[in-house]
Amino acid sequence: MPSPPDQLQELKDQLLMASLPHIVFDGWSKGSLNAGSISIGKEIGYPYSLFSDPVKEMVAHFSNWADREMLKKLDAIDLQSLKIRQRIATSVRYRLESLADHEEAVARSLFYLSPRSLYETVDLIWRTAGDTSVDFNFYTKRMLLSAVLTSTTACWLADKSEGHNDTWDFLDRRIEDVMRIPKLNAFFQSKVEKCFGSIRGRFN
């Protein structure tokens, strides 16, 4: 009989936490997941009771776990009192800080992380920040934030500055770039509409 969704998530979380110490040395592999299984008293092959493709799906679950940890941190602050750019930057920062004890696992996961997992993260960040766009900006924002998240993660992994200050400065600059896009889109849209309006006027 299948486990209820919440219980299944707990079981996956348990296996993830047990496997992370092994992933540091052996990467995201069946061997790491089996070693994690043994450490919690399960048999080799246990990951297949939770996943159909254990390695690939565990990487996606790791990303989902980071998303949930980010939300826990965000729930502890008054997010709505912040400006949109601050909400986005804070979300990205909290997510990375949630992964601080697992940098090697993050670095090794980048090769396996699917576009779907990346999209789910950036979509969650925008929705949590209060984004309600349904037009072309919906896709533009998520595409741009995907680039911000991946580049900031790479910066974070290489950052040796105190408190990762260089990363947070880098993040603030990238968010500033993202926030300029809607204004540019509106500007160019107005110019295009004005141009076509003039053309239509010639034939009226």
Q: What is the pLDDT of residues 95-104, one digit of tens each?
A: 999 999 999 9
Q: Is residue 38 in a domain? A: no
The residue whose two tokens read 């980010």 is: 70
pLDDT beyond 60 at 139: yes
Helices 5-26 and 54-75, axial angle in degrees (round to 10): 110
Beta-carbon count within 10 A of 204 CB? 4
Which segment of 4-13, 53-62, 118-127 scores lowest on mean pLDDT? 4-13
Indicate the burial class of 21 (C-beta count within 10 angstroms; 0-12, 13-18, 19 or more): middle
Q: Is residue 157 in a domain? A: yes
Q: Which domain holds residue 169?
A: 79-202
Give the DSSP H or E segment for 27.
none
Q: Is residue 18 in a domain? A: no
Per the structure, how many domains does the chain have?
1
Q: Is residue 171 in a domain? A: yes
pLDDT tens digits, one per residue of 148-169: 999 999 999 999 999 999 999 9
Q: Is residue 109 in a domain? A: yes
Question: What tokens appear for 47 in the block?
Answer: 């990951």
pLDDT beyond 90 at 187: no
- Return d(Cα 109, Cα 96) in angstroms, integer: 14
- Return d(Cα 92, Cα 109) in angstroms, integer: 17
